[in-house]
Amino acid sequence: GAVVSQHPSRVICKSGTSVKIECRSLDFQATTMFWYRQFPKQSLMLMATSNEGSKATYEQGVEKDKFLINHASLTLSTLTVTSAHPEDSSFYICSATEQNNSPLHFGNGTRLTVT
Amino acid sequence: ILNVEQSPQSLHVQEGDSTNFTCSFPSSNFYALHWYRWETAKSPEALFVMTLNGDEKKKGRISATLNTKEGYSYLYIKGSQPEDSATYLCASPTTTDSWGKFQFGAGTQVVVTP
């Protein structure tokens, strides 16, 4: 089955530093990947749609300069949290789909803690 | 209903008992409804993709029904086992223009006790 790999699974960083999270589709090509954020006891909130070879599409209220997305190849999308602050501490998870009308395949997620 | 909502937020089930829970979604401009199972320390796993009103899908002891006219889906677990313990998410596309943009419910956390 289709597998999405996400790294790192857990990261602790200091305020002001940047953190990069990688999302890879291991056995299929994904022209589009999705980045979600989850706060405790809340639903997965779509942050942005990552498009291979073009700019990401951000959801309303998501700062594109804070959350940089790069989708340089058909199997890799990265999310960089720039100048991280404690309020950026959250659970981030990516997903991709093989084709329209197919289910989403998720990475394992990244728990980010900013101290 | 403007958002995807799930109830209850959590439930405890005795091993061997059956249970069910609900996902409500906007019924206007319906396109699809997904169910996912999310076990601790793992990634969410797709259970069902449902598109037709009246659809009923089954995977082992787990089944789901869909009512697109009234905007709800039920997920049933028959004869619950400890390995069924997980958070069950439902999701519906927010737009038909771009597949994959989903609105998720907050999930129903199921705990099956031996």
Give the rounded distance of the alpha carbon of A26 from its chain centre. 16
Cβ within 8 Å, pair B100-A43:
no
Distance from CA of B79 to the nearest CA of A (A): 26
* Residue B80: predicted pLDDT: 98
The percent of residues in chain A predicted with pLDDT above 90, rounded, is 82
Residue pair B41/B86 in contact (Cβ under 8 Å)? The answer is: no
Structure tokens at A5: 């790999």
Of the partner residues B41, B46, B105, the one whose CB lies closest to the CB of residue A104: B46
Residue pair B112/B18 in contact (Cβ under 8 Å)? The answer is: no
Per-10-residue mean pLDDT for chain B, 114 residues long? Answer: 88 98 91 94 94 95 97 97 97 75 94 96
Q: Chain A interface, mutation test: which of B37, B42, B43, most A Cβ atoms within 10 Å?
A: B43
Cβ within 8 Å, pair B107-A107:
no
What single DSSP character describes residue A104? Answer: P
* Residue A97: predicted pLDDT: 87
Cβ within 8 Å, pair A104-B42:
no
Cis check: omega of the bond before A8, within 30 degrees of 0: yes
Structure tokens at B41: 């320390």
Q: Which residues of B76-90 are buried (b: 16+ CB within 10 A; e: fewer)?
A: ebeebeeebbbbbbb
